[in-house]
Structures are given as C-alpha cells and as structure tokens.
C-alpha cells in the first residue's frame, strides 16, 4: 500500500534516538534547548518553543496574544479542526472566510472586506494550506491597517518560503508562527510542534504556559519571601504564576527532531520533484486536473491534490478511493470544512458564504507525496489513477 503521506526515518535517526535512550535524559534536558535553537536559526526567528503537538503549539500561540474574550478571529474553513478549536479554547470566536479558488488559501480581498465592517475582529490565524504560503506581505499590510494580530498556522509549511524568498516562520509578517511535527509533515518527532516568535514577552509566556505556568528562573519571582534566603535565590524554588499545561516535548522527540532537521532541505527538494512529475503527467484528462498545478515552487508541498469532475463519472468519491486502495494506492480528503462538523453546526456555522471551500471539498482528493516515494511507486500511482478514473467515465454523460 502506497500511503498518501508517510514519515521518512533513517538509520541515523534511529541511532540518535537509541543513543539518547541509553545515555541521555528523557525529559526536560539540554536536547530540547538545542532543538529549539536549531529550528530558530534555520528559519531566522529570534525564539522557538517546542510543544508535544502542533495543536498544543497553536493553542498556546493564540493564548499568548491575550485577546479580549469573545472577540473574533479570522481563519480558513479548509483546515483540520484544531485550527478553529484552538480559537475556541481561548474563549474567542472563529470567523470563517472563504478561500481563493486557485491557491486554496484565505482570500485576502474577502478578509479586507470583512475587516472594514467588523470591528470585533482582533486577529487572523492564517493557514498555509498544503504547504503554499499566503501572500504574507499583503496580509501584514491589512493587519496593520485594522490593528490585527497574526498567527501563522504553518503546520503544512516547514521548509516553504515567502514570496520574498525568506523562510516561513521568521515572523517578519506575523506575531507568531506554529509548525507541526506529525509523521506526515515536513519532518517528524513522532508527535510534536513548535512556536517561533521575535517577541521576548511572548517567548517567556510560552515557556511558562507549556509547563503548568511555572517560573523556573526565566522571569522575576512574585513571592520573594519564599524565593530567597538572605538575598540569595533558593536553589529548589519555583512558582506557578499563571494557569498552564503539560505540553512539553520529550528529549527523545527533540533528538529525533534534530536529526530530521538536518534533512529538511533534502526532503523538500524531493517533494518538489514529485509535484513537478505529477503536474507534467496529470494535466490532460477528461475527469480530473491537478488542484496544485498553480502552486509556486516556494511551497513545501505537504499535500498534492487533484480535483475530480464527478458529474461525468459513474462512481462517487468513496467508490473511487476504495478501488484505488484495492490496487495499492492510498488517498485522503483534506478536509471536511470545519463548519460542516456537527459541533460547529450546533454553534450556528454554515457553508452558505463559503462556496469555494465547499467546491474544493466536494471535488478534491489527496494522492501520495512524501520524500520516500520512489520513481516506480509514483509511476504506479499515476498509471493506476488514470486507469481507475478512465474506467469510471460515464460515456453517456
């Protein structure tokens, strides 16, 4: 079975993890700091704080901005539910704006129109869908005009670059960026995530909130009576200064991340080659077209999608996916738009103002792309896809 996405873990990764398990610490050690410093240096940010998942990172990123309760936060409906859920965690309200039909990213024209009439919008969580960065320079101008904060949901986009050629995550166009290290992402730590920022106050807050809100010496102590003895800090002392969580990454994961980060450029290069081959091979078919053919090659190519015209097929998407799976090709749908989930329907969300997002959901299919996908495997994917969809054509349509 050729999966739509797969981790690429090699012998050096295994040796690094085994060495840490045998000789090193397992949690809250120096490898965490090393991993964070390497990530920050790689993408040009001042600070990085690792977390145990991308969701944890997104949660604390939104929390760190201290936005007024019940204010609205713009985001995309075409994303995993964690993006919107983390807005709710902070007692804020997601405001879904439709996507641009070509890039599949948020439509910046619609964002500006909404900001003109809605003063309750205080922030934007912008999703770099499939690894293609939004035009952040323009979005930054919009945010400055309407006094908005920006968080980049770059779960798909580690290794991508902005239109100016600089790495996604350097926060020149945002307050905070988060990345995911889930196994199908650009690099993996098993599960994990990281936040980058250039704001020292945000950085210090993140260090506290990822570990129960406890200060272990990064900030001034509040209870100085217990913190000091004869003017000297008590070596054992720490204090909880705000509510926090246990969102820490382990040393084992950090070591894997350090090893994987060394291969990031190689991984992204391979994804680009796979995408170029798909673009070349899948462009002329009656039933489908590449959804990603418009993507500029500053993308991290986390996903490669096709858009299928089911109106001329005898089979529906589920039947097509089943046939492909029987022939050894795994596929997936990214994503069920957030407002269609029952929980969000109960909150009153609907898709009437989001036609582009709905159309993409109804027609798209993600096909295999990952660094370990061989030439022969990709050839099989292309051949099988063309065969199944050609056989499914309704000649009477």
Q: Residues 352-371: what's their mean pLDDT?
A: 98
Cα 125 versus chain centre, distance? 11
Q: Is the pLDDT of residue 294 over 70?
A: no
Which pLDDT belongs to residue 191? 96
- CA–chain centroid gap for 1, Å, is 25
32-66 confidence digits (pLDDT tens): 999 999 999 999 999 999 999 999 999 999 999 99
Which pLDDT belongs to residue 395?
61
Split at pLDDT 50, 70, 90, the class of 273 is: very high
Assigned token pair, 280: 């070349």
pLDDT tens digits for range 19-35? 999 999 999 899 999 99
User: Which pLDDT belongs to residue 297?
Assistant: 80
Q: Count other Cβ atoms within 10 Å, centred on residue 330.
A: 17
Condensed to tens digits (0 to 9), the pLDDT of residues 170-197 reads: 999 999 999 999 999 999 999 999 999 9
| Res. 296 pLDDT band, cuts 50 70 90 | confident
Residue 215: predicted pLDDT = 83
Percentage of the chain beyond pLDDT 90 is 94
Question: Which residues have CB under 8 Å from 312's CB, separation 6+?
Answer: 286, 287, 393, 394, 397
Q: Supply the pLDDT for residue 295.
A: 63
As a whole number, the mean pLDDT across the chain is 96
Confidence of residue 293 (pLDDT cuts 50, 70, 90): low
**Would you list the domain boundaries of the chain?**
11-261, 264-391
Percent of the chain with pLDDT over 70: 98
> Which tens digit of pLDDT belongs to each residue from 242-268?
999 999 999 999 999 999 999 999 999
Q: Would you say residue 397 has pLDDT above 60?
A: no
Is 310 within 8 Å of 317 (Cβ atoms)? yes
* pLDDT confidence bin for 217, thresholds 50/70/90: low
What global pTM score does this model have?
0.96
SS3 for the chain is CECCCCCCCCHHHHHHHHHHHHHCCCECCHHHHHHHHHHHHHHCCCEEEEECCHHHHHHHHHHHCCCCCCCEEEECCCCCHHHHHHHHHCCCEEEECCECCCCCCECHHHHHHHHHHCCCEEEEEEECHHHCCCCHHHHHHHHHHCCCEEEEECCCCCCCECCCCCECCCCCCCCEEEEECCCCCCCCCCCCEEEEECCHHHHHHHHHHCECCEECCCCCCCCHHHHEECCEECCCCCEECCCCCECCCEHHHHHHHHHHHCCHHHHHHHHHHHHHHHHHHCCCCCCEEECCCCCCCCCCCCCEEEEECHHHECCCHHHHHHHHHHCCECCECCCCCHHHCHHHHHCCCCCCCCHHHHHHHHHEEEECCCCCCCHHHHHHHHHHHHHHHHHCECCCC
For residue 219, what pLDDT band results from cuts at 50, 70 and 90? confident
What CATH code would you report for 264-391?
3.90.1150.10
Is the CATH number 3.40.640.10 carried by domain 11-261? yes
Same fold, 11-261 and 264-391: no
Position 216 pLDDT exceeds 80: no
């Amino acid at each position: 079975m050729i999966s739509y996405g797969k981790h690429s873990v090699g012998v050096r990764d295994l040796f690094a993890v085994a060495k840490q398990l045998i000789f090193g610490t397992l949690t809250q050690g120096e490898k965490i700091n090393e991993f964070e410093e390497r990530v920050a240096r790689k993408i040009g940010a001042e600070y990085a704080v690792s977390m145990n998942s991308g969701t944890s990172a997104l949660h604390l990123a939104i929390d760190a901005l201290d936005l007024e309760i019940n204010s609205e936060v713009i985001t995309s409906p075409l994303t995993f539910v964690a993006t919107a859920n983390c807005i709710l965690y902070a007692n804020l309200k997601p405001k879904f704006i439709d996507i641009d039909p070509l890039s599949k990213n948020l439509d910046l024209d619609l964002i500006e129109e909404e900001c003109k009439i809605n003063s309750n919008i205080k922030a934007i969580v912008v999703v770099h869908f499939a690894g293609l960065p939004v035009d952040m320079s323009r979005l930054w101008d919009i945010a400055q005009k309407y006094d908005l904060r920006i968080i980049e949901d770059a779960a798909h986009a580690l290794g991508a670059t902005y239109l100016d050629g600089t790495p996604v995550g350097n926060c020149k166009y945002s307050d905070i960026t988060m990345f995911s290290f889930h196994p199908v992402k650009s690099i993996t730590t098993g599960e994990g995530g990281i936040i980058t920022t250039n704001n020292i106050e945000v950085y210090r807050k993140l260090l506290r909130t990822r570990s129960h809100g406890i200060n272990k010496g990064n900030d001034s102590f509040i209870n100085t009576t217990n913190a000091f003895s004869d003017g000297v800090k008590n070596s054992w002392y720490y204090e909880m200064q705000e509510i926090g969580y246990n969102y820490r990454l382990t040393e084992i994961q950090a070591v894997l991340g350090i090893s994987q980060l060394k291969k990031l450029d190689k991984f992204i290069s391979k994804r680009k080659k796979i995408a170029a081959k798909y673009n070349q091979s899948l462009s002329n078919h009656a039933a489908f077209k590449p959804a990603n053919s418009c993507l500029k090659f500053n993308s991290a190519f986390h996903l490669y999608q096709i858009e299928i015209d089911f109106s001329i097929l005898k089979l529906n998407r589920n039947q097509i996916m089943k046939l492909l799976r029987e022939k050894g090709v795994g596929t997936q749908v990214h994503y069920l738009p957030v407002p269609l989930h029952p929980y969000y329907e109960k909150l009153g969300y609907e898709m009437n103002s989001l036609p582009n997002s709905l159309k993409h959901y109804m027609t798209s299919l993600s096909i295999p792309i990952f660094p370990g996908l061989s030439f022969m495997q990709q050839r099989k994917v292309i051949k099988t896809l063309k065969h199944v969809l050609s056989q499914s054509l309704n000649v009477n349509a």
